[in-house]
Amino acid sequence: MRIDKFLNAVNITKRRAISEDMCKSGVVAVNGAAVKPAKELKIGDVITISFLDRKQSFKVLAFPSAKNTPKSEQAKYVQEL
């Protein structure tokens, strides 16, 4: 699954356009390397998002089958590190 779609599907970002822009500006990294929006994720990858004042990391546990998932089910797909 593409990283921009994944970030949107598991409610890390509100819209896919936001996750695309974040990837294009170099804010999102997978396993320590900056990525483009079309980067294909694998289970076990570590996603790091660099905000102005902090960094947030997530480990991919599974891929959602639906386009959007409820915020309450986010823990099934990502683990915050």
DSSP-assigned states of every residue in 40-81: BP-TT-EEEEE-SS-EEEEEE----SSS---GGGGGGTEEE-
What's the pTM value of the predicted model, to 2 decimals?
0.85
Q: Tell me, what's the pLDDT at 47?
A: 93
- Cα separation, 24 vs 34, whole angstroms: 9
CATH number of the domain enclosing 11: 3.10.290.10
- In the chain, the N- to C-terminal Cα span, in Å, equals 21
Name the token pair of 62: 């599974």
Give residue-wise pLDDT tens across range 46-67.
999 998 899 999 999 998 887 8
Name the token pair of 53: 């004042």
Q: How many structural domains is the chain composed of?
A: 1
Question: Range of 64's domain?
Answer: 3-80
Model confidence at 73, pLDDT cuts 50, 70, 90, reads confident
Give residue-wise pLDDT tens across range 6-55.
999 998 888 989 999 999 998 999 998 999 998 899 999 999 999 889 99
